[in-house]
A and B are shown apart, each in its own frame.
Chain A
Amino acid sequence: MYSKGTKRKFSGSADTATDDKAMAASYSLQRQSLLDMSLIKLQLCHMLVEPNLCRSVLIANTVRQIQEEMTHDGSWQVVTEAFSSPSHGPSDRLVATEVLCRSPVLEQQGGGPKLYSVMGYNGCREEEVVTDKALCSVAVGDGAPALLLGTIGHCWDRAELRVAEVEAGVSEDSLSGSGDEEETRCREGTKLATGQVFGMFEIKNSPPGSDPALEELFSDVDASYYDLDTMLTGIQSTPKMGPYDLLDSLASSHGPTSNSTCRADLNELDHIMEIIVGS
């Protein structure tokens, strides 16, 4: 059923491209559902009796295999699927996160820089949280890798502006107290802020130097990639968009904040996200 080696018939017609695309989409959808199933199986191992190690190892190997494959060739299709098919459950958020983090870069480019892979469901959840953080506030922080700032900082200018506008639109509270400081920063689209996003992202998500896909993403980023319009449009098309929901909840629950309390709130958000996603 998921045989990777199945040959596709070359019909030679103009429809070939569409057929191939449809098949590829269906394959990746099936693969995604297999991944979800496997992750659920692994999670449900907390029983009274010690779980069967052989079964767990085999499922974990399957998950690893899927992730490897998604890293190598199929990942961008997942992004496509996120736009076209509303799904539910943790995988929804997984996909959504990738969209936000990575952008429709690859959808447009059709195979540009590799997406950093879905490293593991743990990685994904945290990735998601970081993204939310990025959206809701940009705190001054430490440890933002300097080299990141240079490469991608300028690219996010426009993105930052738009994000700030969205934030402002959704809620005033989250921005008011943190200030003018943050607003200004957002409006100016500073490199520092941007670096912060990826800084936090990197700290949270990957052990040092372990994600070639991530580095690759950073290495050949281009201004044209970040078409926020497309991104936002895409986001709105999927009803259960996590980050926006969170923005709302954040707005309502948090008053004016300083940087440090904002970070504390983000830790709380972290915690909430973990519960929602069901770690």
Chain B
Amino acid sequence: MGEDAENSKLNHSFLRDYVTEADVISTVEFNHTGDLLATGDKGGRVVIFQRETESKGEVEEVGETGESGEYNVYSTFQSHEPDFDYLKSLEIEEKINKIRWLPRQNAAHFLLSTNDKTIKLWKVSERDKRPEGYNLKDEEGRMKDMSTVTSLQVPVLKPTDLMVEVRPRRVFSNGHTYHVNSISVNSDGETYLSADDLRINMWHLGITDRSFNIVDIKPANMEELTEVITAAEFHPHHCHLLVYSSSKGTLRLCDMRASALCDHHAKLFEEPEDPGSRSFFSEIVSSVSDVKFSHSGRYLLTRDYLTAKVWDLHMEKGPVETYQVHEYLRSKLCSLYENDCIFDKFECVWNSSDSVIMTGAYNSFFRMFDRETGRGVTLEAWRETSKPRAVLRTRRVYTGGKRRRGDVGVDSLDFTKKILHMAWHPEENIIAIAATNNLYIFQDRVNTETQGQD
């Protein structure tokens, strides 16, 4: 009996850990109005949150916007299932790598979600009415006994409880040999790109059995492979332009008008290496983990291991701004290499006006940089230190000089608590931060006294 108890204890904890792992959020994305927020997790599930609107005429404080700003669960569905590649004898993870919303065209919402291999188009629609009063069927759908039917009636639509239906509309499979890391919807509203480690394909949203390969950096001999594609995105306004980043820290702007296969870049953005700081880890830390066009389409934001950089599309020789996210880790690169943290891929985002950029770090910290002043601030996404509606305190990592209360030493940083995924509302100052299993939503509360998040 004692043995059984021990075994059940072991089994139980294994299950608990397994469940937790599947709940790890792997992507976060607002839709184009910001009313909906989608998250994908390692278990292949997508959870959509909807912003609550101020109905029923509740009066809030002066200065508040019309919407209360709270996001509640709108719909949950299983997007991808674990799969198996029989040819290679390898599992295909169901983890959702990216979600991208399509621009709204009708009452329904559409989003693309992808795992390592397959992209799916989902239709999210609401149903709040249902027809009632059929002649031949009763309310449960069973055929009526004809002898009970005495008169004809016209079915009418009656309001019912809101039902959110999510249905797969397209499945774009067999397009990628390597792991898909990015998807991006084109401004033309008809096409999108999907990028894996070595290739970028362009799809039409209506066609699933074909895709165009627009970038291919696979060498003839795989032993000569030294560089992979890490992220890709379409230009927000110009449907012929796309950018992709590489593991060597370069960005390539491609113009699809130039040729069908965009192996030759229109522009190459690369910062020359500083010979003084060269080490064995130089290349790894220069690898770009995320690239985002600004809303204006004029700038690019990139994230590498230690910095976030803003590039002007008109200047290829180097970034116009460089922000140190966690420079104090530079002396720890060896340990971070050993525990694989050096390969963590942090995302970066712009705010709605392109005046602030944000990216994640370790210890549940994330950083925001004001482009005008160049100043950065560190904030924390951690349940125990922030209560609902509390103002976020700024945090600091102690790197020398006078130590303030609340400063965290570099050696006490928790490297398992990484903020990799995040999103910024397209119009307002509302941010969504994914911290492992948890989703934090922070808002800027503008009122007469304080400036919200400081």
Partner of A57 from B116, B247, B331 at Cβ < 8 Å: B247
B382 at interface (Cβ–Cβ under 8 A)?
Answer: no
Chain A 14-31 per-residue mask, 1 if CB under 8 angstroms from chain B, else 0: 000000000000000011
B226 close to A2 (CB less than 8 A): no
Bound form: Cα–Cα A61–B342 in Å = 14
- Structural contact, A49 and B331, CB atoms closer than 8 A: no
- Give the shortest distance, in Å, between A24 (CB) and chain B (any CB): 16
Report A120 CB to chain B, min CB distance, Å.
10
Interface residues of B in 193-216 (CB under 8 A from A): 197-198
B343, A54: Cβ atoms under 8 Å?
yes
The one of B178, B230, B275, B280 in contact with A2, judged by C-beta atoms closer than 8 angstroms, is B280
Flag whether A180 is at the interface (Cβ < 8 A).
no
> What is the CA–CA distance of A215 and B31 in the complex, to the nearest angstrom?
63
Residues of A21-75 contacting chain B, CB below 8 A = 30-31, 34, 37, 41, 48-50, 52-55, 57-58, 60-62, 65-66
| CB of A11 to closest CB in B, whole Å | 22
In the complex, A1→B331 CA distance in Å? 6
Interface residue total, chain A, C-beta cutoff 8 A: 24
> Roughly how many angstroms separate A32 CA and B107 CA in the complex, as a whole number?
62
- A-side residues, CB < 8 A to B, are 1-5, 30-31, 34, 37, 41, 48-50, 52-55, 57-58, 60-62, 65-66
Contact in complex: A48, B91 (CB < 8 Å): yes
- Decide: B278 and A5 in contact? CB cutoff 8 A: yes
Contacts of B92 in A (CB 8 A): 49-50
CB distance from B278 to the nearest CB of A (A): 5
The answer to whether the Cβ of B88 comes within 8 Å of any Cβ in the partner chain is yes
Q: Residues of B contacting A2 with CB < 8 Å?
A: 279-281, 334
Task: Count A-B contacts at CB 8 Å.
Answer: 76
Cβ of B188 within 8 Å of any chain A Cβ, yes or no, is: no
Docked pose: A4 CA to B91 CA in angstroms: 40
Partner of B284, one of A5, A31, A53, A58: A58
Are B93 and A37 touching (Cβ within 8 A)?
no
Q: In whole angstroms, how far apart are the Cα atoms of A61 and B282 in the complex?
A: 11
Interface of A is mostly: helix
B91 and A1: CB pair below 8 A? no
Least CB distance from A62 to B in Å reads: 6
Verify if B287 is at the interface (C-beta below 8 Å from A): yes
Contact check, B280 vs A66: say whether CB atoms are below 8 A apart: yes
Q: Is the CB of A53 within 8 A of B226?
A: no
Q: How far is the CA of A59 from the CA of B197 in the complex (A)?
A: 15
Query: Would you call A54 and B247 a contact (CB within 8 A)?
Result: yes
Instruction: Determine the chain A residues whose CB is within 8 A of the CB of B198 once the complex forms.
Output: 53
B343 touches A3 (CB 8 A): no
Give the chain A neighbours of B230 by CB distance below 8 A.
54
- Residue of chain A at shortest CB distance from B286: A58
Q: State whether B334 touches A52 (Cβ < 8 A).
A: no
**B178 near A53: Cβ-Cβ < 8 Å:** yes
What are the interface flags for B339-355 relative to A under an 8 Å C-beta threshold, 1 for contact and 0 otherwise? 01001000000000000
A50–B177 CA distance with the chains assembled, in angstroms: 11
The complex places the Cα of A255 from the Cα of B327 at a distance, in Å, of: 63
Q: Are B90 and A49 in contact (CB under 8 A)?
A: yes
Can you list 23 A-B contacts (CB < 8 A)?
A1-B332, A1-B334, A4-B280, A5-B276, A5-B278, A5-B279, A34-B334, A34-B337, A37-B338, A48-B90, A49-B91, A50-B90, A50-B91, A53-B197, A53-B228, A55-B343, A57-B225, A57-B227, A57-B228, A58-B343, A62-B280, A62-B284, A65-B280
A234–B228 Cα gap in the complex (Å)?
44
Top 9 A-B residue pairs of the complex, sorted by shortest distance between their CB atoms: A53-B197, A3-B279, A50-B90, A1-B334, A55-B343, A54-B228, A2-B280, A2-B279, A58-B284
